[in-house]
Chains A and B, each alone.
Chain A
Amino acid sequence: NAGVTQTPKFRILKIGQSMTLQCTQDMNHNYMYWYRQDPGMGLKLIYYSVGAGITDKGEVPNGYNVSRSTTEDFPLRLELAAPSQTSVYFCASSYSSGREDGTQYFGPGTRLTVL
């Protein structure tokens, strides 16, 4: 049971380039999330998904896109990378329902630098 895995671990992009951050979970969780963490700040929700085929915007969605074709995978797409997208990106998953406490399980993160 690998939990939540993310690739790549590190990436340097040039301004205007695009890339996809991969996220996979093997816990059969319905809910999946993408966060970014900037230095000295808490986690900011970018997008989330409550199940395959369903996605919704979080607090900071601009400049990003997601898809959820399977329960396991939740890739995050960056189009036209900008320096403001330099951050550490975390993917997470959870069972999350009204009867659970919402515990989320995190991947190790992807450190992205845009120059």
Chain B
Amino acid sequence: DQQVKQNSPSLSVQEGRISILNCDYTNSMFDYFLWYKKYPAEGPTFLISISSIKDKNEDGRFTVFLNKSAKHLSLHIVPSQPGDSAVYFCAARAPMDSNYQLIWGAGTKLIIKP
């Protein structure tokens, strides 16, 4: 069963507008959530994270929101730029008894239109 789900395989957004990428999870024991960005032929790179005890974390154009009751998090990119076109992965950190492994979603391909 998928513990971390990204239900939108792709998303197309106009340059300058807001991009919102969504992620749902099932395990209430996850204690950190991370977003990674991946360009073709490269490895994923860390973008932003949020602790389960917070509901918002902001870093420049990127903001992650966490709704624990709904087991849902979202990544907002404002304003969207052409260089933001990439695949975005949501990952959740498992608890200590699972050696803090990251559980990954399938990714959402973001396309920024000029």
Contacts and interface: CB of A to CB of B under 8 A. Distances in A.
B107 A56 contact: no
Interface size grouping (class) on chain B:
20 to 34
B65 interface: no
B12 to A, nearest CB: 17
Contacts, number: 56
A108 B46 contact: no
B49 A101 contact: yes
A49 to B, nearest CB: 10
Nearest to A102: B93
B21 interface: no
Interface in B8-57: 9, 32, 34, 41-46, 49, 51
Interface string A35-77: 0000011111100101000001010000000000000000000
A44 B32 CA distance: 18
B43 A4 contact: yes
B67 interface: no
A103 B46 contact: yes
29 contacts: A40-B9, A41-B106, A42-B4, A42-B6, A42-B89, A42-B105, A42-B106, A43-B89, A44-B104, A48-B99, A48-B101, A58-B101, A90-B43, A90-B44, A92-B43, A96-B100, A97-B100, A98-B96, A102-B32, A102-B93, A103-B34, A103-B46, A103-B49, A104-B46, A106-B43, A106-B44, A106-B45, A108-B42, A108-B43
For the complex of A and B, list the 5 residue pairs with the smallest distance between their C-beta atoms, beginning with the closest: A106-B43, A42-B104, A42-B106, A102-B93, A43-B104
